[in-house]
Amino acid sequence: VKTLGVKFADIVGQERLKHWFINVLKSQSLGHAYAFCAEEGMGKSFLSHVFSKMLLCEACQNLEMYDRDDSKETLFMEVCDVCQHCKTFDGEAHPDFYRLKREKASIGVDDVRRLKEHIHIKPMYAKHKIFLIPESELMTPQAQNALLKTIEDPPPHVLFFLLTTQFQTYLPTIQSRVVKLDLEKYSPNEISAFLKSRDGKLLQMEWITKISDGNLGMALKMVEDAHFLEMREAVFAHVVALFEKKEGEDMALFSYLDKNKEWIGTILNMFALFFRDLLALQYDNWENILINVDKKDIMISRKKMVSPNQLLHWLDQTEKVKLGLSMNVGFGLSVEYWIISLFR
């Protein structure tokens, strides 16, 4: 996680969480255990690292906050990037920052024991000793029990940051002893502001902003992953072929899906979003709700080739095959049945 050069005031989104953090610092009311909760790609790891660095940095110790736009509402505090704390933190070598690295597929008792060996050692340089547990939803119940005692009655300098995609997998005893911090979905404006700062074509970004559904990490992955963009072009070509009832398209579609089996969920979502857009285009003035805006012209030129009922049928069948695959109905059978239903 790169925190060097990051300005707290420039971090996109998560206003509530940033506001909360600054207030906790201001009132010096930091607790001992926090759980950052959100799905993959939302920035749990990034934010927890930024907060950790601020808690360690020399320049932040005197709590000098500033007000960038004189609103008296948005206070900021920035790390210096040059003190010993910042340098060792960025070099992943700060002795008072411990990031748990799991050795197996789950986080077991041994992992927690290794972490606990450090807990009673006083911080060497900083005010706090920070323990960060990524993917904490992977903690076994035994590991959680091993952690519980420390979370219940921690030494005063200890601070836990747990990152999780599923808060509900914690034992109730853990749930009641950590403060839950939910990350919020990013707004379309926040996502496009972020993507724009990273370059890229505007039209392409508009659909990515919509398709990513408030997940900044997902949006970024889509922009940077060429395979994802290729896949979308291929799916769109298949949608057009389907419209034109092109000879041999059923076989071509099956072979494409078979070759891209591991992406089947994403591919089916892309189909569903094209069908949804085409359905929207059947009605007047619905153009503004399009997701695949960059394909608008081609879709408009094809929209009379198919009826709303047909599109509803396609959408329905696509949802069904997704459900079947999630319930482990065989790939070949589900996909074959789906293709037959598309051509019916």
- What is the nearest approach in angstroms of Zn ion to the Cβ of residue 61? 9
Residue 335 neighbours by CB distance under 10 Å:
21
Residue 143 neighbours by CB distance under 10 Å:
22
Of 42, 55, 57, 139, which lies in the binding site for Zn ion, with binding defined by CB under 5 A?
Answer: 57
- What is the nearest approach in angstroms of Zn ion to the Cβ of residue 94? 11
* Pick 80 or 340: Cβ nearer Zn ion: 80
Task: Report which secondary-structure segment, H or E, holds 270.
Answer: helix 264-280
Interface size with Zn ion, residues (CB under 5 A): 7
* Pick 5 or 172: Cβ nearer Zn ion: 5
Identify the burial level of 324 via C-beta atoms within 10 angstroms of its C-beta, where 0-12 means exposed, 13-18 middle and 19 or more buried: middle
- What is the nearest approach in angstroms of Zn ion to the Cβ of residue 63? 14
* Pick 4 or 323: Cβ nearer Zn ion: 4
Mask 5-44, x = binds Zn ion (CB under 5 A)?
----------------------------------------
* Pick 92 or 297: Cβ nearer Zn ion: 92
- What is the nearest approach in angstroms of Zn ion to the Cβ of residue 291? 43
* Pick 94 or 295: Cβ nearer Zn ion: 94
* Pick 101 or 127: Cβ nearer Zn ion: 127
- What is the nearest approach in angstroms of Zn ion to the Cβ of residue 81? 6
Give CA–CA dist 313/340, Å, rounded: 12
Smallest CA-to-CA distance from 272 within 212, 315, 326 is with 315
Give CA–CA dist 134/152, Å, rounded: 20
For residue 97, what are the β-bridge partners?
130
* Pick 80 or 289: Cβ nearer Zn ion: 80
Contact set for Zn ion, span 72-101 (CB under 5 A): 79-80, 83, 86
Region of 28-36, 50-58, 203-211, 329-337 interacting with Zn ion (CB under 5 A):
50-58
Mask 179-208, x = binds Zn ion (CB under 5 A)?
------------------------------
* Pick 94 or 276: Cβ nearer Zn ion: 94
Mask 207-246, x = binds Zn ion (CB under 5 A)?
----------------------------------------
Task: Report which secondary-structure segment, H or E, holds 95.
Answer: none
Contact 67, 92 (CB under 8 A): no
Contact 178, 160 (CB under 8 A): yes
Give CA–CA dist 252/241, Å, rounded: 10
- What is the nearest approach in angstroms of Zn ion to the Cβ of residue 135? 28
- How far apart, in Å, are the Cα atoms of 45 and each of 125, 164, 183, 187, 220? 23, 10, 11, 19, 15
Query: For 62, phi and psi rounded to 5 degrees?
Result: -90, 10
Smallest CA-to-CA distance from 174 within 33, 40, 52 is with 33
Task: Report which secondary-structure segment, H or E, holds 296.
Answer: helix 296-302
* Pick 77 or 151: Cβ nearer Zn ion: 77
- What is the nearest approach in angstroms of Zn ion to the Cβ of residue 12? 22
Give CA–CA dist 61/315, Å, rounded: 56
Apex 99 CA angle, 98 and 102, nearest 5: 130
The answer to the question of residue 147 lying near Zn ion (CB under 5 A) is no
**Contacting residues toward Zn ion, per CB under 5 A:** 57-59, 79-80, 83, 86
